Amino acid sequence: MGESSSVTRPEFTDIPQPDELARAEARRRHATLIKPAGSLGRLEELGAWIAACQGACPPRPFKRPRVVIFAGDHGVAAKGVSAYPAGATAQLVDALLKGDGAPNALAGVAGVGVRVVDLAVDAETPVQEFKVRKGSGSIDTEDALTEAEVEAALRAGVAIADAEIDAGADLLAAGDVGAGVSTPASVLVAALTGSEPVAVVGRGSGIDDDAWMRKAAAIRDALRRARAVLVDPIALLRTAAGADLTAMTGFLAQAAIRRTPVLLDGLASAAAALVAEELAPNARSWWVASHRCAEPAHTLALDHLDAKPLLDLDIRLGAGAGALAAMPLLAMAARLLTDVATYEDAGITPPR
């Protein structure tokens, strides 16, 4: 199993909180706009959250929204838990880099930039600046990472967040691409929510019944190992995650430290968020769940984070697809506070 974690790690302390005065001012402003009070529902609360994250009301329109897709292979895929064959992750990364993937199409409509980062693809790729290793250990029988690899992956996630924010990113999302990724993600969710293996096993990449049973067995065995180190989130990442999920964890925590709002995507993003919240308590104040995916573990994770998703479209792709579908809602929520006239400005008598 490996000894207890003593790795030197990034410090995720003193997490700032969104500006509650700006949130309150946004709510007050909504009450003065030319519409019935509360008539725009969650768009109003979303706008208030954006104002709180920016510390300004009305909030600034988003200028550089970005989705970062974390790529990695997982050793447990060799146990037949994924519909994708060996080598598929590298091919999917290549398609994304060429602009041929589903996230590319969605990003083009949403006006969002997409970056792909190879953390653990089991092949050479053009985007491996932050590569930690090729693949990961098969988590049903061995650790996913070494202690040094956990540290490297966390620091990679921090560096990626810093680079995007320093370049002007004012809204972020984290996506995933990798054969077998839903298996470690489900293990992390089960471990941190106290759920049984059968409650988290989904169809992932579109597996059949036989593969579902193999996946259930792998999650059962991996969860037994994960629960033995549950008190230490770093040890949990070492035991049951992978470099992609670990880097995503660092990315989400660092975004909170940098006061940058994040749209959580699907299962992998939510699993990383659970661990990030353990490492950086209250970081979740800077995150909003973009959607509820079709994986059962995703609902468990969102409930644990007390995160109400914006959309429910049965998306299970990952790769930032759900976050990209929801990003226009955030742009709309911000623009309502900047572009809609007040009753006083418009010379309209407000309702009594």
- State the catalytic residues: 319
Residue owning tokens 């590569």: 131
Classify burial at 352, counting beta carbons within 10 Å of its beta carbon; exposed 0-12, middle 13-18, buried 19 or more: exposed
- Distance (Å, whole) CA 32 – CA 327: 26
Instruction: Answer whether 70's CB lies under 8 Å from 173's CB.
Output: no
Which runs of E-coded beta strand occur in the chain? 65-72, 113-120, 171-177, 262-264, 287-289
What is the number of helices (H) and of strands (E) in the chain?
14, 5
- Distance (Å, whole) CA 268 – CA 176: 7
| Local structure of residue 59 (DSSP, 8 states) | P
* Other residues' Cβ atoms within 10 Å of the Cβ of residue 71: 28
- The token pair at 292 is 């509820």
Peptide bond preceding 65: is omega within 30 degrees of 0, i.e. cis?
no
* Other residues' Cβ atoms within 10 Å of the Cβ of residue 125: 16
Exposure string over 241-256, b if 16+ CB within 10 A, otherwise e: bbbbbbbbbbbbbbbb
All residues at 6 or more sequence positions from 153 whose CB lies less than 8 Å from its CB, including other chains:
119, 132, 145, 237, 243, 244, 246, 247, 250
Pairing of strands 65-72, 113-120: parallel
Instruction: Answer whether 202's CB lies under 8 Å from 297's CB.
Output: yes
